[in-house]
Amino acid sequence: MATAQVVNVTLPALPEGWSADKDFKAVGSLSGATQRNLEAVGPHFLAHARRRRHNRTFSEDDRIQAQHNVKKTEDEDDGEISEPEDPMTLAREAKDWKHQDHYAVLGLTRYRWRATPEQIKRAHRKKVLRHHPDKKAALGDRDENDSFFKCIQIANELLSDPVRRRQFDSVDEAAEVEPPTKKECANGKFFKLWGPVFEAEGRFSKTQPVPQLGDDNSTQEEVETFYNFWYHMDSWRTFEYLDEDVPDDNENRDQKRHVEKKNANARRKRKTEDTARLRHLVDDCLALDERIKKFRQQARAGKDKKRLEKEAEAKRLAEEKEKARLEEEQRKKEAEEAAKADREKSKKAKEAAKNATKKNKRVVKGSVKDVNYFAESGDASAAQVDSVLTDLDILMGKLEAEELASLAERLTAAGKDGAAVKGVYAEEAKRLVGAGKLKEGEVKNF
Measured between alpha carbons, how far is 77 from 74 in angstroms, rounded to an integer?
A: 5
Measured between alpha carbons, how far is 47 from 58 in angstroms, rounded to an integer?
A: 9
Model confidence at 414: pLDDT above 90: no
Contact between 86 and 100 (Cβ < 8 Å): no
Q: Are residues 330 and 373 in the same domain?
A: yes
Q: DSSP 3-state assignment of 235?
A: strand
In a domain, 322, yes or no: yes
Q: Which phi and psi (to 5°) does residue 205 adopt?
A: -80, 135
Q: How confident is the model at residue 139 (pLDDT cuts 50, 70, 90)?
A: low
Q: Among the three residues 258, 288, 318, which one is the final residue of a domain in this structure?
A: 288
Beta-ladder partners of 192: none
Q: Are residues 132 and 188 in the same domain?
A: no
In a domain, 47, yes or no: no
Q: Span 322-340, mean pLDDT?
A: 91
Q: How confident is the model at residue 1 (pLDDT cuts 50, 70, 90)?
A: very low
Q: Are residues 319 and 219 in the same domain?
A: no
Q: What is the CATH number of the domain that holds 137?
A: 1.10.287.110
In a domain, 1, yes or no: no
Measured between alpha carbons, how far is 323 from 321 in angstroms, rounded to an integer?
A: 5
Nearest to 285 by CA among 193, 217, 188, 203: 193
pLDDT recorded at residue 250? 65
Q: Are residues 432 and 322 in the same domain?
A: yes
Average pLDDT, the chain: 84
Question: Does the model's pTM come out above 0.85?
Answer: no
Model confidence at 296: pLDDT above 70: yes
More confident residue, 360 or 56: 56
Nearest to 423 by CA among 362, 371, 363: 371
H/E run at residue 115? none
Contact between 92 and 152 (Cβ < 8 Å): no
Q: Which domain holds residue 431?
A: 310-445
Q: Span 41-56, mean pLDDT?
A: 85
Give 36's Cβ-side CA count (13 Å radius): 5
Q: Are residues 327 and 283 in the same domain?
A: no
Model confidence at 138: pLDDT above 70: no
Q: Are residues 259 and 370 in the same domain?
A: no
In a domain, 246, yes or no: yes
Q: How confident is the model at residue 249 (pLDDT cuts 50, 70, 90)?
A: low
Give the number of other Cβ atoms within 10 Å of residue 204's Cβ.
Answer: 19
Q: Span 11-26, mean pLDDT?
A: 76
State the sign of the Cα–Cα–Cα–Cα dihedral 260, 262, 264, 270. Answer: negative
Q: How long, in residues, is the chain?
A: 446
**Is residue 6 classed exposed, middle or buried when 0-12, 13-18 and 19+ CB atoms within 10 A define those classes?**
exposed
Angle at 180 between CA 178 and CA 181, to 5 degrees: 130
Model confidence at 445: pLDDT above 70: yes
Measured between alpha carbons, how far is 192 from 180 in angstroms, rounded to an integer?
A: 10
Q: Which phi and psi (to 5°) does residue 293 adopt?
A: -65, -40
Measured between alpha carbons, how far is 296 from 289 in angstroms, rounded to an integer?
A: 12
Asked if omega into 209 is within 30° of 0 (cis), the reply is yes
Q: Are residues 278 and 322 in the same domain?
A: no
Q: How confident is the model at residue 355 (pLDDT cuts 50, 70, 90)?
A: confident
Q: Are residues 314 and 372 in the same domain?
A: yes
More confident residue, 146 or 200: 200
- Which amino acid, residue 70? V
141-150, 244-253, 421-430: the lowest-pLDDT one: 141-150
The total of structural domains in the chain comes to 3
More confident residue, 199 or 9: 199
pLDDT recorded at residue 39? 65
Q: Span 192-204, mean pLDDT?
A: 93
Give the end-to-end CA distance of the chain in Å, rounded to a whole number: 87
Q: Among the three residues 125, 145, 172, which one is the final residue of a domain in this structure?
A: 172
More confident residue, 68 or 195: 195
Q: Are residues 162 and 135 in the same domain?
A: yes
In a domain, 12, yes or no: no
Which range, 49-53, 71-75, 223-227, 242-246, has the best average confidence (pLDDT)?
Answer: 223-227
Model confidence at 164: pLDDT above 90: yes
In a domain, 272, yes or no: yes
Q: Are residues 190 and 281 in the same domain?
A: yes
Q: How confident is the model at residue 388 (pLDDT cuts 50, 70, 90)?
A: confident
Q: Are residues 316 and 428 in the same domain?
A: yes
Q: What is the CATH number of the domain that holds 315?
A: 1.10.8.840
Angle at 387 between CA 383 and CA 390, to 5 degrees: 135
Q: Are residues 439 and 322 in the same domain?
A: yes
Give the number of other Cβ atoms within 10 Å of residue 239's Cβ.
Answer: 18
H/E run at residue 300? helix 290-300
- Which amino acid, residue 163? V
Percent of the chain past pLDDT 90, that is, above it, reads 34
pLDDT recorded at residue 142? 53
Q: How confident is the model at residue 136 (pLDDT cuts 50, 70, 90)?
A: low
Q: Which phi and psi (to 5°) does residue 235 adopt?
A: -95, 140
93-97, 137-141, 404-408: the lowest-pLDDT one: 137-141
Nearest to 142 by CA among 151, 134, 150: 134
pLDDT recorded at residue 12? 79
Measured between alpha carbons, how far is 233 from 357 in angstroms, rounded to an integer?
A: 47
Q: How confident is the model at residue 224 (pLDDT cuts 50, 70, 90)?
A: very high
Crossing angle of helices 290-300 and 220-231, in 10° steps, is: 130
Nearest to 229 by CA among 175, 288, 286, 267: 286
In a domain, 137, yes or no: yes
Which range, 33-37, 88-92, 112-116, 384-388, has the best average confidence (pLDDT)?
Answer: 112-116
Based on its alpha-carbon atoms, the radius of gyration of the chain, rounded to whole angstroms, reads: 42
